[in-house]
Amino acid sequence: MTTLLLVLHIGFAIFTLGPLTAVTMAAPRAIRAKEVGLLRFLQRSTRIYGLGALGVLIVGLGLGGSDLGKPYLTVSMTLFVVAIVLLVLIERDLRTAVRVLSTETADDDAKVQTGRIAALAGVVALIWLVILVLMVWFN
């Protein structure tokens, strides 16, 4: 059972966190280019992969079992929750950017969302790397 959970955990991590990071990193460029169709796709993809990323945490909790009290796992789970919260903020900003760019009003501009999304996406990517180091180094 442990082997199955480990395979699921790693599979969820590979097939959700990688694309999720790529999608959030591509969003600022789509905003600057004012490509609303692409931005809608990126926003939808962020939501779908973000929900799928919760599988990493859920399977990880099952895999951790009695070791969940170890400091490296506690730090990893806390960082993961922080990353999910940041992804919720990114998705909210993507929705706002889609709404702003979809209107014909010249006053509206999505530049505010561009900087915030870029910064938060970078922080989320760093969080994934820190979690990876914690999982490999201390396990």
24-67 pLDDT, tens digit each = 999 999 998 989 999 999 999 999 999 999 999 999 999 988 88
| Domain span holding position 78 | 2-138
Residue 35 region by backbone torsions, left for phi larger than 0, else alpha for psi between -120 and 50, else beta = beta
Give the integer Cα–Cα distance in Å for 50 and 94: 13
CA diameter of the chain: 58
The answer on pLDDT for 23 being more than 80 is yes
127: nearest Cα among 83, 86, 84, 87: 83
pLDDT of 107 reads 65
pLDDT of 44 reads 97
pLDDT of 130 reads 97
Residue 7 region by backbone torsions, left for phi larger than 0, else alpha for psi between -120 and 50, else beta = alpha
64-84 pLDDT, tens digit each = 888 888 999 999 999 999 999
Number of domains in the chain: 1
